[in-house]
Structure 1
């Protein structure tokens, strides 16, 4: 399962993202891959291969920052799924 992190992808809050993760984990897929887009997006072949697109923000960030932001969102998503107190509603 290939998900592109693309500025034109679907945007969601942390709780919706945790539900998105849960849905994919429950689907039985073995590998979920997130790929960060370049400054000009992806090639047409990559867009055609992708199973979905997520957007982190309409703002522009460096690849180094996107990696950090996305790791934090993964952590937050999994703490929401485990009902841990990291995420505040």
Structure 2
């Protein structure tokens, strides 16, 4: 199971960190929720096209 969470400007409650087995971060900077959705969606799309050998890079 894979779950993506977007935290608030101060991160997550300690309970969230305790339950997580892996964590990634888009940046050390704080973004608006609208910007996070945009950046995350683009990165997810980019990763999926690379995995499926679709022409995203240098196309």
Paired residue for 1:35? 5
1:49 aligns with 2:19: yes
- After TM superposition, what 4+ stretches of structure 1 lie above 2 angstroms from structure 2? none
Give aligned pairs, total: 58
Cα RMSD for the two superposed structures: 1.1
What stretches of structure 2 of length at least 5 have no aligned partner?
Answer: none
1 or 2, which has the higher strand percentage?
1
Among 15, 29, 35, which residue is 1:65 paired with?
A: 35
| Deviation at residue 37 of structure 1 after TM alignment | 1.4
Report the structure number with the largest CA radius of gyration: 2
Q: Could you tell me the TM-score, scaled by structure 1's length?
A: 0.60
TM-score, scaled relative to structure 2 = 0.86
**TM superposition shift of 1:87:** 2.4
Q: Which has the higher contact order (CA 8 A, sep 6+)?
A: 1
